[in-house]
Structure formats: C-alpha cells, structure tokens
Structure 1
Amino acid sequence: MPKLLQINITANWGSHGRIAEEIGQLAMHNGWESYIAYGRWANPSKSHLIKIGSMWDERWHGVQSRLLDNHGLASKRATKQLISAIKEIKPDLIHLHNIHGYYLNYPLLFDYLSHAEIPVVWTLHDCWPMTGHCAYFTYAKCEKWKKECSNCENLDSYPISYIIDNSRSNYAKKKKYFNIIRNLTLVPVSDWLSGIVTQSLLKNNTVKVIHNGVDVEIFKPLGRGTLPKGLLNGKKIVLGVSSKWEKRKGLEDFIKLRSILGPDYLIVIIGVSEAQKRQMPDGIIGICRTDNLEELVCYYSSADVFINPTYEDNFPTTNIEALACGTPVVTYRTGGSPEAIDEQTGIVVEVGDINGLVDGIKKVCQSEHKEEIRRLCRERAVKYFNKNDRYKEYLDLYQSLLNK
C-alpha cells in the first residue's frame, strides 16, 4: 500500500485544508495510506494527522517574521521534528500545499527533500513561493519578482514586516532552495498562475495545471426557500463569501455597491469578523465565518447572484461553489478568478469598476432566462469542477511519478 504525505498550514479547515482532506480521501479510496501534516488549525480528518510544532513555535515564528522579515526561516525545531516523522512514515510521495504561515522552515525541509529521493508534488495556491516577501503582487502592480525582489513596496501585506526589508535575501534563498529538488512537479491551480510560474524563479521546474474542485453532492441547488424566514422579503440577494475579508478581497466595494443598488437588493456577506459585522451599513447583512457547509449551501442556493470583487486571487473556490449551487458569478478580471465562468454562467468586469458590477448584477437579476442560467451554472460546475474528476488528476500524477 503506497503512502501519501501532504503538508499544509491546515488540515480539513479552510479551502486549502479541505482540498488536502479530499485528496487524501480519494487516495485512500484507491488503496493509498494517507497522512496530513499541518501547522496551525485542524478539523477531524480521515487521514492520519501530524501536528507540526506548537502554539509557541507558531507565535515565535510570527514575531520573528514581523520584526526581521524572515518568513519561512524560523520553526527550525518544529521542522526537524517533521523530518523525523517523514523518516519514520517513509512516504512514497510527498504533496506540499501552503508551506508558509508561521510553522515551517523551508530551507531545512527542502534540503532534506533534495536528498530523500521521494517524488514531490507542490500545489501552488498563491504567489508566495515566487517572491521575496508577499503572497500576491497584482494590487501593488509590482513586477520585481520576475528578476529579483528588493525595496519591497508590499511589506505591510501578508506576511507583514514592520521594519526590516529582507526581500532581496529572501528571494535569493527561495531561488536556491525551491530549485534543488530533482523530482519536483509544480501544480498551479489556475492557468493565470501557470503563466506567472513560467516567468518566475520556479520556471525551470515541471508544471501541470489542475484546477480546484468541489463536492458537487454537497454544493448543489437547494432553492430559495432554504434561507431563514423573513430574510428575503421579496428582495434580490447579492452574495459575497470569503474566509477572511480584507482590502484585496473587495469588502469596500460591497459598501460602495450598497450606496448604488436600490432597496430591492439585499447584500449578504459571509466571513466577516465581529468588528466588520458591526460596521455594516443598512442593507448589508454580515455573517461571521461558518464551517457549517449546509448553511453555506443554503445561502449560495438562495442568492440571485454571487459577487467576487477580489483585486488579486489565484482560483477562488467560492466561485465554483456558487456555480455548483446554480448561482451565476460576477467577478473582476484579475488572477484566475474569471477562469471558473464562461459567457453563459457569469460576467467579468474590469478591476475596481463598481458601475460594471452594478450593471452585471442587474443584468443577471433582471434576466428572463434565470432558470436556464442556473441550469448552465450547475452543469458547468459538474462538468469541469467536480472534485472527484479534478483530484483524480492528482492520483494519476502520483502514479506517473511512482512509475518513473
């Protein structure tokens, strides 16, 4: 029985954690033994879970990162313990996901993997592996990552550094260590990110695009009657969902939308913090993050339109969750966000174009073919983003690497 070890910041928590969990479940269904090593948060898992480090390790890493701009360079003891666990498990294949997040020392890990002769698959969920500091650079309109990062303009974005700029040194370290594994396959989850990889410090590695998938048996149309009684009141529901709302996710654009859309529209935003919830103006219902998928599906199914005003993103899972529930998507033309939809299932507008969002919302909500559009959304999700189909691509990749 082959053994799979996945490494991620979370286990069965958040979009990336659920992806790792579902890949592990599919692997087990096909005869693999599955392990997930995680750094910070976890929900119960069907895989064997391995906690990397302690809360103290994570916090100390965070302090160093904020003061020294050395994200991914602390957590030495925790990483050595992980390496010991890898030696004990003896996995046939290692699958990396997000290795940033204050829990791992990448030079130690990659140095070990370069000598371990274990095939490594690395799913890229953002741009952090290719920069000297940030996870995204679109909003800052920076292209230094193509040659060499320095004098970073993004120090105030994740992973925040308060004082020191080590972007040049960080870039050099990543270029060295992320290119020392001979048997490494990179998996960007969008065509957009694949294009970024080909221009980056990772450009000499093998690349295979695999889009994210969702469970289309969970995310499915339930009808509008599933929301709490009295919420609809004949209004058209404009929905936004994120695990964390910040400036780059477009929360402020929802506020602007509220001032333009008429009283016939109700905006529902899921994933806000308690502080953000208290600041919501009339006409916007803020709902804190929920891990209750049934509740989330009810909101997706009841919405007339899903809005994703993200300013920078890779391939948002929320877009395909909405489609699977039969809800059309209006999104900005940024990153891989437009890749989930086509002309029949959504509308793409230019970044920051609030009036374009308004036009898109009204076009969808006033369409005479709503039921047909919902049917097409569902069909597109089932055809292209069924998790069983997408994650089988990983199993096929695993097998091809083991057969080499």
Structure 2
Amino acid sequence: MPTLLQINVTANWGSTGKIAEDIGRIAIEAGWESWIAYGRGNPHSQSKLIRIGSDFDMNLHGLQTRLFDNHGLASNKATKHFIKQIKAINPDIIHLHNIHGYYINYEILFDYLKEWGGPVVWTLHDCWPFTGHCAYYEFSNCYRWKSRCYDCPQIKSYPASLCYDRSTKNFFDKQESFLGCKNLTIVAVSDWLRGELKKSFLKEYPLLTIHNGIDLSIFKPSAIKACNNNGKNILGVASVWDKRKGLEEFVKLRDLLPENYLITLVGLSKEQISSLPDGIIGIRRTENVQQLVDLYSMADVYVNPTLEDNFPTTNLEALACGTPVITYKTGGSIEAIDAVTGITVEYKDIHSLSEEIKHICELSLFFRDDCRKRAEKFYNKSIVFQQYLKLYKSLL
C-alpha cells in the first residue's frame, strides 16, 4: 500500500485544506494510506492527521515575522520533531501545499526533502514561494521578484512585518532552499500562475496546471426564488474582504447601477457591514453551505472584481449553481469562464464593469444550463483531483 503525506497550513478547512482533504480521500479510495500534516485548527479528516507544533509555536512564529520579516524561518523545534514523524511514516510521495502560515520552517523542511530524495509534489496556491515577502503582487504592480526583491511595497501586508524589510534576504534564502530538490514537480492551480512561475527562479522544475475543483453534488442550482422580484440581484463572495478582493469596487458600483439592482456581499466583518451604503446587503461569513448555494442560485450575475487572485473557487461555485460570472482580467480569475458563461472586463475599469453587469441582467446573455455544464465538464472535484493520483503514479 503506497503512502501519501500532504503538508498544508490547514486540514479540511479553508480552500487549501479542503483541497488536501479531497486529494486524500481520492487516494484512500484508490488503496493508498493518506496522512495530512497541518499547522492550525482542530480538524476532522478521513486521512490520518499530524499537527505541526502548537498554538504557542504558531504565535511565536507570527511574532518573529512581525518583528524581523523572517516568515517561514521560525518553528525550528516543531519542524525538527515533524521530520522525525515523517521518517516514521516513510511516505512514498510528499505533497506540499501552503508551507507559509506561521507553522513550519521551510529551510529545515527542504534540507530534509533533498536528503530524502523521494518524489515531491508542490501545489502552489499563491505566489509566496518565489517572492521575498508577499503572496500576491498585482495590486501593488511590483515585479521585482523576477530578478531580486528589495524595498518591498507590501511589507505591512501578509505576512506582515511591522518595521523591518528583509525581502532581499528572504528572496535569496528561498532560492537557496527551494532549488536543488531533484524529484520536485510543481503544480500551479491556474495557467496564469504557471506562466508567472516560468519567469521566476522556480522555472527549472517541471511545471503543470491542475485547476481546482468543487463538490457538484452540493453546489448546484436550487429552486429558491429571489426576494428582489422587481429588480436584479448581484452577488459577491469572499472569505476575507480586503482591498485586493474588490470591496471598494462594489461601493463604486452601487453609485453606477440602477436603484433596483440589489448587491449582496457574503463574508464581511461586522465593521464592514456597518459601513456599507444603502443598496448593499452585507452577510457575515457563513458555514451554512445551503444558504450560500441559494444566494448563488438567486443571483442574476456573480461579480468578482478581484484586483489580484490566482484561481478563485467562488467563480466555480457560481457556475455550478447556474450563475454567469463577470470578473476583471486579473490573474487566473478569467480562466473559469468562456464566451457563453461570463464576461471579462479590463482591470479596474469600473464603468465597463457596471455596463456589462447591466447587459447581462437586462439582455439575459447567458443560459444557466451552459454555466452548469461548464462546471460539470471542467470543475468536478472527483474528476479534477484524479489528476494528482495519476501524477503520483507517474512519479513512482
């Protein structure tokens, strides 16, 4: 029985944690033994679980990051203990996901991976592995990572440093750690990210794209009727509404769209909800998936004005519920849709965005069946994540 070990900041929680869980489930169904090592939370899983470190370790790692901008270089003791556990498990494949998030020391981890010499798969869900600090850079229009990072314009963004800029040293530390791992294959979750990787110091590794998938038995059109019978329903969803997710774009849209266009935003904080203008309904993050499915199904269009992103799962969820998507031409966000399921708009062109929203709503440009069929064809997680199993077998 082959053994798979995945490493991610979370297990069966959040987007990357659920992806790891689904991959583990598929491996188990194929007769593998599956382990997931994680950094935070108290998850339940079909896979066997290992927590790396403790809450104290994680908080100390976060404090060091804030003070010294050395994210990923703390948690020494926790990582060394975890290496001993890896040796005891003796996996056939080690699959990395997010190795940032205040829980593991990447230098110690990669020193072991190079010594171990077995096949390693690394799914990149963002850009942190090849920059000196940030997880995304489009919003700040910074491309120093192509040569070397310095004077980081996002030093106070995740993983935030309060005063010290170590981006140049981080860039070269990552380069030294991540290069030279002989049996490493890198998976990007969007063609856009794979293209960025080809410009980075990771370009020498085998690179491929495996898009994310979702559970189509859960995300499907519901029969619930919209309450805004005399108008149109616009929906936006995010797990965290920061600037890069486009909250301010929705506030601008409120002034540009007709009054009978109701905007509903899911995932807001109490403070964000209290500051919304009239005509925008704010809903806090919900674990009630059926409520989210109903909101997707009621919407005339799902709007994703993200200002930097990789491959947003919310686009897939909207399509699966039969709702067309409109998005800025940002990162891999445009890859989820085609000419019969949505529209892409030039970056930050808020007036074109509002006009296209009205076209979709007033002219009924898209059919819900086409949106659902695209989700079924390309984003069924039970099919999509089989690609990982095929990759494992080819590496073994």
Classify the TM-score, shorter chain. over 0.9
Shift of 1:233: 4.2
User: Which of 349, 365, 370 is residue 376 of structure 1 equivalent to?
Assistant: 370
- State the SS of the aligned residue for 2:354: helix
- State the SS of the aligned residue for 2:357: helix
1:5-404 superposed matches below 5 A: 5-225=5-225, 231-368=227-364, 370=366, 373-402=367-396
Within 1, Cα distance between the matches of 2:214 and 2:299?
Answer: 18
RMSD of Structure 2 on Structure 1 (CA): 1.2
- State the SS of the aligned residue for 2:236: strand
Change (3 A) 1:339 1:42: farther
Report the AA paired with residue 395 of structure 2. Answer: L
Give CA deviations for 1:200-252 in whole Å, capped at 9, x if unaligned: 01011111110111111111111342x6xxx4343311111111110011001
Shift of 1:2: 1.1
Within 2, Cα distance between the matches of 1:216 and 1:108?
Answer: 39
Within 2, Cα distance between the matches of 1:42 and 1:220?
Answer: 29
Give CA deviations for 1:246-274 in whole Å, capped at 9, x if unaligned: 00110011111112212211111111112
Within 1, Cα distance between the matches of 2:291 and 2:90?
Answer: 40
Report the AA paired with residue 107 of structure 1. Answer: E
- TM-score, normalised to structure 2's length? 0.98
Within 2, Cα distance between the matches of 1:246 and 1:264?
Answer: 26
Q: Indicate conservation of the 8 Å contact 1:4/1:93, yes or no.
A: yes
Listed as ranges, the gaps of 5+ residues in structure 2 are none
Shift of 1:10: 0.8
Report the AA paired with residue 335 of structure 1. Answer: G
Between 1:253-262 and 1:195-204, the stretch displaced more is: 253-262
Within 1, Cα distance between the matches of 2:43 and 2:371?
Answer: 30
Q: Indicate conservation of the 8 Å contact 2:121/2:184, yes or no.
A: yes
Within 2, Cα distance between the matches of 1:186 and 1:165?
Answer: 28
- State the SS of the aligned residue for 1:153: coil
Q: Indicate conservation of the 8 Å contact 1:36/1:49, yes or no.
A: yes
Shift of 1:180: 2.5
Q: Indicate conservation of the 8 Å contact 2:61/2:74, yes or no.
A: yes
What is the number of residues matched between the two proteins?
Answer: 396
- TM-score, normalised to structure 1's length? 0.96
Within 2, Cα distance between the matches of 1:270 and 1:262?
Answer: 21
Shift of 1:368: 3.9
- State the SS of the aligned residue for 1:11: coil
Listed as ranges, the gaps of 5+ residues in structure 1 are none
Give CA deviations for 1:167-223 in whole Å, capped at 9, x if unaligned: 111000111111121100000011100010011010111111101111111111113
Shift of 1:45: 1.4
Give CA deviations for 1:60-110 in whole Å, capped at 9, x if unaligned: 111110110000000111111211111111111111101101111000000
- State the SS of the aligned residue for 2:372: helix
Q: Indicate conservation of the 8 Å contact 1:13/1:42, yes or no.
A: no
Report the AA paired with residue 276 of structure 1. Answer: Q
- State the SS of the aligned residue for 2:252: helix
Report the AA paired with residue 277 of structure 2. Answer: P
Report the AA paired with residue 375 of structure 1. Answer: D
Report the AA paired with residue 307 of structure 1. Answer: V
- State the SS of the aligned residue for 1:208: strand
Within 2, Cα distance between the matches of 1:22 and 1:384?
Answer: 16
Q: Indicate conservation of the 8 Å contact 1:12/1:42, yes or no.
A: no
Within 2, Cα distance between the matches of 1:257 and 1:284?
Answer: 10
Report the AA paired with residue 232 of structure 1. Answer: N
Q: Indicate conservation of the 8 Å contact 2:359/2:365, yes or no.
A: no
- State the SS of the aligned residue for 1:9: coil
Within 1, Cα distance between the matches of 2:191 and 2:307?
Answer: 17
